[in-house]
Amino acid sequence: MDVMDNKSFYLSLLAMAVVLYLLIGIQEARGEDKIKTTCRLASQILVNEQRVCVFVGANHTQYREYLPYDAGECPREYKCPYRPNEKPFDLKSVIKSIKDQFRK
Protein backbone atom coordinates (compact mmCIF):
# COMPACT_ATOMS: atom_id res chain seq x y z
CA MET A 1 0.00 0.00 0.00
CA ASP A 2 2.93 2.35 0.70
CA VAL A 3 4.20 1.99 -2.87
CA MET A 4 0.88 3.17 -4.28
CA ASP A 5 0.80 6.15 -1.92
CA ASN A 6 4.31 7.17 -2.98
CA LYS A 7 3.37 6.97 -6.65
CA SER A 8 0.27 9.11 -6.21
CA PHE A 9 2.25 11.61 -4.14
CA TYR A 10 4.92 11.95 -6.83
CA LEU A 11 2.32 12.18 -9.59
CA SER A 12 0.47 14.95 -7.78
CA LEU A 13 3.77 16.74 -7.16
CA LEU A 14 4.62 16.44 -10.86
CA ALA A 15 1.17 17.73 -11.82
CA MET A 16 1.61 20.79 -9.57
CA ALA A 17 5.03 21.49 -11.12
CA VAL A 18 3.56 21.32 -14.63
CA VAL A 19 0.73 23.69 -13.69
CA LEU A 20 3.20 26.13 -12.13
CA TYR A 21 5.40 25.96 -15.24
CA LEU A 22 2.38 26.70 -17.46
CA LEU A 23 1.29 29.66 -15.32
CA ILE A 24 4.77 31.18 -15.51
CA GLY A 25 4.75 30.71 -19.29
CA ILE A 26 1.38 32.43 -19.60
CA GLN A 27 2.58 35.37 -17.52
CA GLU A 28 5.66 35.80 -19.71
CA ALA A 29 3.58 35.52 -22.88
CA ARG A 30 1.31 38.28 -21.69
CA GLY A 31 4.30 40.51 -21.16
CA GLU A 32 3.25 41.50 -17.66
CA ASP A 33 6.85 41.72 -16.53
CA LYS A 34 8.00 43.95 -19.40
CA ILE A 35 8.50 47.66 -18.88
CA LYS A 36 5.89 49.91 -20.46
CA THR A 37 6.15 53.58 -21.33
CA THR A 38 3.65 56.23 -22.34
CA CYS A 39 3.65 56.67 -26.10
CA ARG A 40 1.93 59.58 -27.79
CA LEU A 41 0.15 59.53 -31.12
CA ALA A 42 2.44 60.75 -33.91
CA SER A 43 0.26 59.90 -36.90
CA GLN A 44 -2.70 57.86 -38.03
CA ILE A 45 -3.18 56.45 -41.51
CA LEU A 46 -6.30 55.05 -43.15
CA VAL A 47 -5.50 52.22 -45.55
CA ASN A 48 -7.87 49.57 -46.93
CA GLU A 49 -10.58 49.93 -44.27
CA GLN A 50 -7.93 49.78 -41.55
CA ARG A 51 -6.55 52.47 -39.29
CA VAL A 52 -2.82 52.39 -38.49
CA CYS A 53 -1.82 54.37 -35.39
CA VAL A 54 1.86 55.30 -35.07
CA PHE A 55 3.01 56.10 -31.53
CA VAL A 56 6.32 57.54 -30.29
CA GLY A 57 7.62 57.21 -26.74
CA ALA A 58 10.72 57.70 -24.61
CA ASN A 59 14.18 57.15 -26.15
CA HIS A 60 12.83 56.81 -29.70
CA THR A 61 10.43 54.00 -28.80
CA GLN A 62 8.18 53.42 -31.79
CA TYR A 63 4.97 51.39 -31.76
CA ARG A 64 2.23 50.74 -34.32
CA GLU A 65 -1.30 49.60 -33.58
CA TYR A 66 -3.57 48.27 -36.34
CA LEU A 67 -7.28 48.89 -35.75
CA PRO A 68 -10.40 48.32 -37.86
CA TYR A 69 -11.81 51.50 -39.36
CA ASP A 70 -15.01 51.12 -37.32
CA ALA A 71 -13.07 51.24 -34.02
CA GLY A 72 -12.89 55.03 -34.21
CA GLU A 73 -10.04 57.45 -33.69
CA CYS A 74 -6.64 56.40 -32.40
CA PRO A 75 -6.06 57.17 -28.72
CA ARG A 76 -3.82 60.17 -28.02
CA GLU A 77 -1.74 58.17 -25.51
CA TYR A 78 -1.01 54.47 -25.30
CA LYS A 79 1.00 52.25 -22.94
CA CYS A 80 3.47 50.55 -25.25
CA PRO A 81 6.48 48.28 -24.67
CA TYR A 82 9.59 50.25 -23.80
CA ARG A 83 12.26 49.68 -26.45
CA PRO A 84 15.04 52.18 -25.71
CA ASN A 85 17.76 53.36 -28.03
CA GLU A 86 16.09 52.41 -31.27
CA LYS A 87 17.50 54.30 -34.19
CA PRO A 88 15.88 57.69 -34.70
CA PHE A 89 13.38 57.59 -37.52
CA ASP A 90 11.74 59.93 -39.96
CA LEU A 91 7.94 59.87 -39.64
CA LYS A 92 7.47 60.32 -43.40
CA SER A 93 9.52 57.20 -44.14
CA VAL A 94 7.53 55.20 -41.56
CA ILE A 95 4.24 56.26 -43.15
CA LYS A 96 5.58 55.43 -46.61
CA SER A 97 6.69 51.95 -45.51
CA ILE A 98 3.26 51.26 -43.95
CA LYS A 99 1.50 52.29 -47.17
CA ASP A 100 3.89 50.14 -49.20
CA GLN A 101 3.03 47.11 -47.04
CA PHE A 102 -0.65 47.44 -47.91
CA ARG A 103 0.02 47.83 -51.65
CA LYS A 104 1.54 44.36 -51.94
Torsion of CA 99, 71, 82, 33, to 10 degrees: -140
pLDDT attached to residue 55: 92
Residues recorded for the chain: 104
pLDDT attached to residue 38: 93
Mean pLDDT of each 10-residue bin along the chain, 104 residues long:
71 85 76 78 87 89 88 90 75 78 72
pLDDT attached to residue 93: 78
**Quick one: which H or E segment has residue 76?**
none
Select from 92, 101, 93 the least CA-distant residue to 47: 101
User: Looking at the whole model, is its pTM more than 0.85?
Assistant: no
pLDDT attached to residue 39: 93
Question: How many Å is the Cα radius of gyration of the chain?
Answer: 23
3-state secondary structure of 28: helix
